[in-house]
Amino acid sequence: MKKKTRAFLKWAGGKYGLIEQIQERLPEGNKLVEPFVGAGSVFLNTDFDKYLLNDVNPDLIDLYKIVKSRPKTFVKDAKTLFVQSNNCKDAFYGLRSEFNQTTDPYYRSLLFLYLNRHGFNGLCRYNLSGGFNVPFGSYIKPYFPEEEIFKFSEKSKKAKFVCQDYSKVFARARKGNVIYCDPPYAPLTETANFTSYATGGFDANAQAKLAKLAERTAFKRDIPVLVSNHDTVLTRKLYDEAEQSFVKVARSISQNGKKRDKVSEIFALYNNKALEKK
């Protein structure tokens, strides 16, 4: 069995642990389109000829473009931030402040990796003013993902990175492509929120809009779409036109990240071929 490739970013809701289940469900195609690429675990562990990878977070996409085009320079410069003197609250909050003040894409990318590895639980969160506000993580020695960065860069030769609204990325897909959607998840409880990944949120209306777009794309344009989400009453209803399947996954379900439990995940496959079987 081929060894799985890890993403170089820590990522809340990352798909590394579900790679085999996703691989089983993804239809064949000449290009994989990901409107919500996140850390890129699905991209790294599939073998399509080409990839169109999108995220609404410009910091993430700028980072990926830089890693693709100049990995050696990036690794050399990023390493200078991963020193013991930067692994404390004062240094972290100072560098976080620099990140929030600078507009230079390259420097922001270096700081983004530092914040990702030194911040709490690999969260990527911004306040309503667009400021990165994840607290210090208090790790003994944050890992510098050099090998993972170079692997990502090599695989990126097949990829185009864009930062658009997901609906525009759907519009760019063509027959023969496959779309995989890993949107900000529907909350398991009414008190949970949708704002962890980027400002702007992703509420129940946005979830419904995505489901309808996936349905139209598959059944009217003949482009298969696989969507993953929390298994809830809402998502089962939203994805009622899709072929649904379910897996149990271990997830942290408390704010301190210590309590882990099995939660159910839904996979919804919109595919003309799947429709014929129903």
- Binding annotation for S-adenosyl-L-methionine: 11, 15, 55, 182
At CA 151, angle to CA 164 and CA 249, rounded to 5?
70
Let me know if 33 is exposed, middle or buried by CB neighbors in 10 A (0-12, 13-18, 19+): buried
Distances (CA, A) of 109 to 120, 134, 222: 18, 16, 37
| Helix, strand counts (H, E) of the chain | 11, 7
What one-character-per-residue DSSP string does 126-172 give?
B-TTS-B-PPB---SS----HHHHHHHHHHGGGEEEE-S-HHHHHHH
H/E stretch holding 61 reads helix 58-69
- 10 CB neighbour count, 10 Å cutoff: 19
- Cα–Cα distance measured from residue 168 to residue 204, given in angstroms and rounded to the nearest whole number: 20
d(CA 252, CA 58): 27
**Distance, first Cα to last Cα, the chain:** 32
How far is the CA of 25 from the CAs of 28, 104, 178, 205, 259, in angstroms? Answer: 10, 40, 11, 26, 29
Q: Considering only CA atoms, give the Rg of the chain.
A: 19
Numbered residues of the known binding site: 11, 15, 55, 182
Q: Are strands 225-230 and 260-270 parallel, antiparallel or unpaired?
A: antiparallel
